[in-house]
Amino acid sequence: PNSSAPAPSPPAAAPNPEGASGQGGQVVPVGIRLNPNGRDIPDVAPQLLGATAIDMQPLASGCGFANLEALLTGMVATSVQLQIRVEPSGEITQVRPLQGTGNGAVDDLVSCVVRQRLQLQPASSAGIPQLTDAFILDARIQF
């Protein structure tokens, strides 16, 4: 077999010392892809800098959600698609759910958590970082 290229290993599950209940849920970035309706498309798409799971619990109160457990009761793991605006710094300043969790409050929380925590390698054209909102972040929400 051709062993020159290592096979992509499945993403390792984030260590969860609190046990598998995942207190408060996590947002797990999966990938970034071009929005078919995107305009001003840069030469190089923004990139995930290591897809680490983001714990929602520590960020919930700062996002305006005091009672996270009540909010997440009955939620099941799901995938979301978020249109993102990525600054030349790699910061995400706008998040708009295209396909959400089905719960508007949870969508708001996910959007807030992504804005606060997820730093990307910015899009660029001719080597210069560019502002772009032409991309969609796919993420898994785990509870």
The secondary structure of 25-63, three-state, reads: CEEEEEEEEECCCCCCCCCECCEECCCCCEECHHHHHHH
Per the model's pLDDT, the better-predicted residue between 126 and 5 turns out to be 126
What is the dotted CATH code of the domain comprising 26-142?
A: 3.30.2420.10
Residue 9: other Cβ atoms inside 10 A: 6
- pLDDT, tens digit, for every residue of 13-69? 444 333 344 468 999 999 999 999 999 899 999 999 987 899 999 999 999 998 999
At 143 the pLDDT is: 87
Report residue 37 as tokens. 């309706």
- pLDDT, tens digit, for every residue of 73-111? 999 999 999 999 999 999 999 999 999 999 999 999 999
At 19 the pLDDT is: 37
- Which residues, listed in sequence order, are joined to residue 95 by a DSSP beta bridge? 84
At 48 the pLDDT is: 97
Residue 86's contacts (CB-CB under 8 Å, 6 or more residues apart) are: 46, 92, 93, 120, 122, 123, 131, 132, 133, 135
